Amino acid sequence: MASSPNSLSPVDAADEWLACPQCDQLYRRVPLASGKKAVCVRCGAVLYRCRKRGVEFALALCVSGLILFGVANFAPLLALEKGGLIQETTLWSGIGVFLVRGEWLLALLVLVTLILFPLLRLAGLTYVLYPFFRGRATAAGAARVFRLIHAASPWSMLEIFLLGALVAVVKLGDMATVMPGIAAYAFVGLILVSAWAEYVIEPRDIWRRIDNHG
């Protein structure tokens, strides 16, 4: 019974057995060659992958994300032109406008969902992945940081912001000429890079590394 999927020993649950995410068929994990994936024989869902240079690639995406994040925060986001007058806005000046108007809840929402959580996610992943890339011991508190990243993920709402900004641009188009700034492009890049990092990172692989190098 020691290796039965019903005896919930944490080691067995994490390392030996896994359930298909689509149809719940149970499998025993086997090591894969680099670049290969394990597929469910019943429904064809991908069970897990062994990515080539997974950590290096994920780390490169996170660092690119941090650079794009800096640009998205401090470069001009939009420029409004009307009657020869041009007014530029950055994300932070937008938050300032909300505060001046007393809309502090809106300011807090923008601060948390567009700045704090996306930054926490990228910086946290970089912190966890970097020691694996350099072949060093796991970063202090890596398990806690990785758990926190997972918990904070639903609160990172870059895509929703972009959609809202697009609607606003279309509506403002009647009143003034709206020109997207460098930060707007950086936001698009940031969304793509974040989604790509999400795809590349195998949480199970990260947990295994944290366990082994801890």
Provide the binding-site residues for Zn ion, judged by CB under 5 A. Answer: 20, 22-23, 25, 40, 42-43, 45
Beta carbon of residue 54, minimum distance to Zn ion (angstroms, whole number): 23
Question: DSSP of 101-122, one letter per residue?
Answer: TT-HHHHHHHIIIIIIHHHHHH
Q: With respect to Zn ion, which residue has the nearer C-beta, 39 or 79?
A: 39
Q: With respect to Zn ion, which residue has the nearer C-beta, 45 or 86?
A: 45
Report the distance separating Cα 140 and Cα 143, nearest Å: 8
Report the distance separating Cα 186 and Cα 213, nearest Å: 35
Phi-psi region of 24 (alpha: psi -120 to 50; beta: other; left: phi over 0): left
Report the distance separating Cα 132 and Cα 202, nearest Å: 14
Q: With respect to Zn ion, which residue has the nearer C-beta, 11 or 26?
A: 26
Beta carbon of residue 6, minimum distance to Zn ion (angstroms, whole number): 19
Beta carbon of residue 49, minimum distance to Zn ion (angstroms, whole number): 15
Contacts of 203 (CB under 8 A, 6+ apart): 146, 150
Looking at the DSSP bridge assignments, the partners of residue 17 are 28
Q: With respect to Zn ion, which residue has the nearer C-beta, 43 or 195?
A: 43
Q: With respect to Zn ion, which residue has the nearer C-beta, 20 or 72?
A: 20
Beta carbon of residue 123, minimum distance to Zn ion (angstroms, whole number): 36
Beta carbon of residue 30, minimum distance to Zn ion (angstroms, whole number): 16
Report the distance separating Cα 32 and Cα 54, nearest Å: 13
